[in-house]
Chain A
Amino acid sequence: MFVCEAFRRFRRNPQLFLMGFLSIFFTQLIVNVFIVGYLELDKLGTFSGEAFSVRAYFPDNVNMAQAEEVVERLREYPEIAEVIVVSREQARLRFLEYFDLRDEDIPPEENPFPLSVEAASHRVEDVPRLAERMQETGSFDEVLYGGRNVELFLRFYQMLLSTGSVILLGVFIFSLVVITNVIRISMQSREHEIQVCSMMGATERFIRRPFLFEGFLQGILAGLGAFCVTYVIADFTLEFLISAFPFFPWVETGEILVPTLVVNTAMGGFVGFLGSLIASNAVLRRRKQ
Chain B
Amino acid sequence: MEFLEFRRVYKIYNNGIRALTNINLEVRDGEFVFLLGPTGAGKSTIMKLLIREEIPTSGDVWLEGFRVNRLEDEHLPYLRRNIGIVFQDLRLLPMRTVFENLVFPLEVMGLRRTLMNRLARDVLEVLSLEEKRNHLVEWLSGGEKQKLCVGRAVIHQPKLVLADEPTGNLDGRSAYEMVSGLFQLCREGGSTVIMATHNERIVKTFPGRRVYLDKGEIVRDNIEE
Interface size class of A (residues with CB under 8 A): 10 to 19
Provided the pairs A206-B108, A288-B73 are in contact, do residues A199 and B93 lie with their beta carbons within 8 angstroms? no
Q: Give the segment of A32-40, A124-132, A189-197, A218-226 that binds chain B.
A: A189-197
* A285, chain B: closest CB distance, angstroms: 11
* B25, chain A: closest CB distance, angstroms: 22
Output the nearest chain A residue to B73 by Cβ-Cβ distance: A288
A199 touches B79 (CB 8 A): no
Decide if B77 is an interface residue (CB 8 Å cutoff). Answer: yes
User: How many of B's residues come within 8 Å of A, CB to CB?
Assistant: 21
A212 to B51, CA, bound (A): 27
Q: Which 10 A-B pairs have the closest CB atoms?
A: A201-B80, A201-B81, A202-B108, A201-B77, A200-B105, A203-B77, A200-B108, A196-B91, A201-B108, A200-B104
B104 touches A201 (CB 8 A): no
Output the nearest chain B residue to A11 by Cβ-Cβ distance: B95
A193-B93, A196-B92, A203-B77 known; 8 other A-B pairs, CB under 8 Å? Answer: A195-B91, A196-B93, A196-B104, A197-B104, A198-B77, A199-B87, A201-B80, A201-B83
A8 to B108, CA, bound (A): 19
A-B contact pairs, 18 of them (CB 8 A): A192-B91, A192-B93, A196-B92, A196-B93, A197-B104, A199-B53, A199-B85, A199-B87, A200-B105, A201-B78, A201-B79, A201-B105, A201-B109, A202-B108, A203-B74, A206-B108, A206-B110, A288-B73
A33 to B183, CA, bound (A): 70
Choose one: B53, B74, B77, B87; the contact of A202 (CB below 8 Å): B77
A69 to B166, CA, bound (A): 100
Provided the pairs A206-B108, A288-B73 are in contact, do residues A200 and B80 lie with their beta carbons within 8 angstroms? yes
Contacts of B108 in A (CB 8 A): 197, 200-202, 206
